[in-house]
Chains A and B, each alone.
Chain A
Amino acid sequence: MPRTVKLMQGNEACTVGALAAGLEFYAGYPITPSTEIAELCAEELPKVGGSFIQMEDEIASAAAIIGASLTGKKSMTATSGPGFSLMQELLGYASLCEVPVVFVNVQRVGPSTGMPTSPAQGDVMQARWGTHGDHPVIVLSPGNVKECFELTVRAFNLSERYRVPAIVLMDEVIGHMREKVELPDASELVIESRPAPKSRVGYKPYAAETDGGVPLMAPFGEGYRWHVTGLFHDETGFPSNKPEVADRLMRRLAAKIDRNEPVIRDFVTESLDDCEVAVISFGSSAMSALSAVRKARAAGIKAGMLRLRTIWPFPDEAVRELSSRVKAIVVPEMNLGQVALEVERASRCNAKVARVSKVNGELFRPEEILAAIMEAAK
């Protein structure tokens, strides 16, 4: 099958991935460093029969994609930190109402306006916990341009399969970096769609197995005449204040992701078999980390790396297993230690966890991470 080789940017690869996954509707608001995604969607979506709209702000953008998704169309928005903050309100709505939508957050330095053109990874916890209340989300982290394509396709698939918001957490370097990318042929892609009801008769929009079931989703406009509300609701979709209904709903929503963590989990490893000092990293930090690990190996240190491609749900088991057989875990990230906190939790004090943080808008140099590996190996 013909494959396409192209020099492309992460933001471009993300857009091409979204289109490949079946994107039909994009709503967004301009913000650096994500804007190329909006521009490309504006240009390309009409060509495939889809629609683009530039909304008045990020809250409206999140609202519009949820609305469009309810009609059965795969929908997405892209933003960066300040805009992602505004979207939190409706990310929670999508999570509770189980509307599949994809959010792309090309991270920049924050808080607030921060440094708009510089990379950061400071939204790891916001992506997980930014909206109020316990809620399920899936967060994927591409580590190169090709993965921007692959993980955007996957984000759509997971979002559709589990009816959750999926977040593609990129960063400025991944978004703007250009690499040679070999794109797969369409026939090689697996494209998933939300589970759909077969009949209007007796349709209960939120009926599902108690333990993590995913309800069948009817599109608006097709005669199902169902109700969606951000209030807690029973299986009919109508509001309920009953404690047992609320409890069942909350636990089912959480279990949708928790139960499926082994399937959602995704990471790549480098030299972990005989590893003594492990590096856990993600996104553009992991590019420098990989170089550092190889340099450490060349210097005789048994270093290895676990690179997260799924950050949430966090791969607890994999990290715990790794921590049980290494001396130390070095966690370089462009924030003050957000993934490190999870590594500390998951490793249960089995191994020393060394935070290597960077919040000045610069990428890691491999030497900085190498120095931390050397220190941890002592």
Chain B
Amino acid sequence: MSETLSYFRQDRLPHIWCPGCGHGTITGALVRAINRLGLDKNKIMLVSGIGCSSRAVGYLDFDTLHTAHGRALAFATGLKVARPDLKVIVMTGDGDCTAIGGNHFIHAARRNIDITTIVMNNNIYGMTSGQYSPMTPKGMLATTAPYGNSERDFDLAELAKAAGATYVARGTSFHVPMLIDLIEQALQHKGFAVVEALSQCPTYMGRKNKIGSAVDMLEWIKGRTVNAKAAAALPPDKVQGKLLIGELHKSSQPEYCDEYFKATAKVRRAWKNIDGGLRGCEQNSD
């Protein structure tokens, strides 16, 4: 316990999340995975966007960057290219990542840049009190879908895979040991790694849809999911309409920073002054 706590800025606690929220469980899973791998606190840069999920970074004892709505991956890309030797982790939510940040998400995946992205998917905009997101299931209620959501939701794992992510997994705040394992795998993966973590929002998603308490919501999440390994052996009707959880995609592809530094290696050491001999002034800072 104390080892896990050492990754927290304990003076920043308690957190702002509502009672019963799943985001603390997911944050805990990330910290446990980091702890298991024994990663150096000083070599992790943790980035988030805006929303309930993105408040997580303020409680964790790394260099932490709470950015603007949807932009976490774009900031993280700058950090990673500037310091490819450091571990970059993004904590984001379903609205942050797939609506306003959707473009940055698919391009980070396409580049296969070495960033671990944890998407806390509670199927709702929680911070603004319950509007539907691109991951609100069709037909469910939200304050901006009072007659039921007319839009289809994303399958984030399929989206990530199609866009080029080389590690894709889905876990939940119910299946915690599995979630820790998946995040651990993602952190060890070289390339763009996505872990979608289904999370419960009893306050807005649960109440609006009369799902019940936090515990009821965890049951609801459990009921929506099937283990990807077990799914192969199950009859189709048991899998139909369910979300697969576990490791869903893994491949080994060239990583963006490696490729960029490889492509530019030839000129990197043999630079000549740019038409004027201005570079190399001693005052230059690094």
Contact = CB atoms under 8 A, between A and B. Distances in A.
B276 A239 contact: no
Contact of A239 (B58, B274, B277): B58
Of A27, A55, A56, A187, most buried by chain B (CB within 10 Å of CB) is A56
Contact of B77 (A16, A55, A187): A55
A6 B275 CA distance: 8
A70 B79 contact: yes
A191 B67 contact: no
B104 A56 contact: yes
Interface in B54-106: 57-58, 61-68, 71, 74-83, 85-86, 103-104
B147 interface: no
Contact of B274 (A16, A93, A222, A228): A16
Given A74-B285, A238-B58, A67 B75 contact: yes
Interface stretch (B30-38, B237-245, B265-273): B265-273
B208 interface: no
22 contacts: A4-B276, A19-B278, A46-B268, A47-B268, A48-B279, A56-B107, A57-B103, A64-B78, A67-B65, A70-B79, A72-B286, A73-B286, A90-B71, A185-B278, A220-B45, A220-B63, A220-B65, A220-B83, A223-B42, A225-B62, A227-B57, A229-B58
Given A55-B74, A225-B41, 20 more contacts: A4-B277, A4-B278, A24-B286, A46-B271, A53-B81, A56-B104, A61-B74, A66-B78, A67-B78, A71-B83, A72-B286, A73-B286, A89-B71, A185-B278, A186-B279, A186-B280, A220-B83, A229-B66, A230-B68, A238-B58
Given A70-B65, A71-B79, A221-B86, A59 B281 contact: no
Contacts of B42: 221-223, 225
The 3 closest A-B pairs by CB, nearest first: A67-B78, A47-B271, A64-B78
B283 interface: yes
Contacts of A129: none
Given A46-B268, A68-B78, A238 B12 contact: yes
Contacts of A47: 267-268, 270-272, 274
A72 B285 CA distance: 9
Contact of A46 (B65, B264, B277): B264
B271 A68 contact: no
A133 interface: no
Contacts of B45: 220-221
B78 A48 contact: no
Contacts of A31: none
Nearest to A57: B103
A20 interface: yes
A63 B67 contact: yes
B152 interface: no
Contacts of A231: 66
A83 to B, nearest CB: 14
Of A69, A185, A189, A229, most buried by chain B (CB within 10 Å of CB) is A229
A56 B277 contact: no
Contacts of A65: 78
Contacts of A184: 278
B224 interface: no
Contact of B79 (A57, A183, A190, A220): A220
Contacts of B284: 22, 191
B29 to A, nearest CB: 21
B82 A24 contact: yes
Contacts of A347: none
B286 A46 contact: no
A181 B240 CA distance: 70
A183 B6 CA distance: 53
B64 to A, nearest CB: 5
Nearest to B50: A230
Nearest to B285: A193
Given A47-B268, A57-B103, A73-B82, A66 B75 contact: yes
B229 interface: no
Categorize the interface residue count of chain B. Answer: 35 or more
Contacts of B277: 2, 4, 185-186
Of A46, A55, A63, most buried by chain B (CB within 10 Å of CB) is A63
Nearest to A3: B276
B59 to A, nearest CB: 10
Contact of A27 (B78, B275, B283): B78
Given A191-B281, A227-B66, A4 B275 contact: yes
Interface in A221-265: 221-231, 238-239
B56 to A, nearest CB: 12
Contacts of B74: 55-56, 59-61, 63-64, 67
A16 B81 CA distance: 22
A266 B71 CA distance: 35
Nearest to B257: A51
Nearest to B270: A47
A288 interface: no
Interface string B1-40: 0000000010010000000000000000000000000000
A227 B278 contact: no
A310 to B, nearest CB: 23
A300 interface: no
Contacts of A56: 74, 103-104, 107
Nearest to B16: A239
Contacts of A191: 281, 283-285
B250 interface: no
Nearest to A6: B275
A92 to B, nearest CB: 9
A80 interface: no
A299 B89 CA distance: 68
Contacts of B65: 67, 70, 220, 227-228
Nearest to B272: A47
B41 to A, nearest CB: 7
Contacts of B85: 221
A202 interface: no
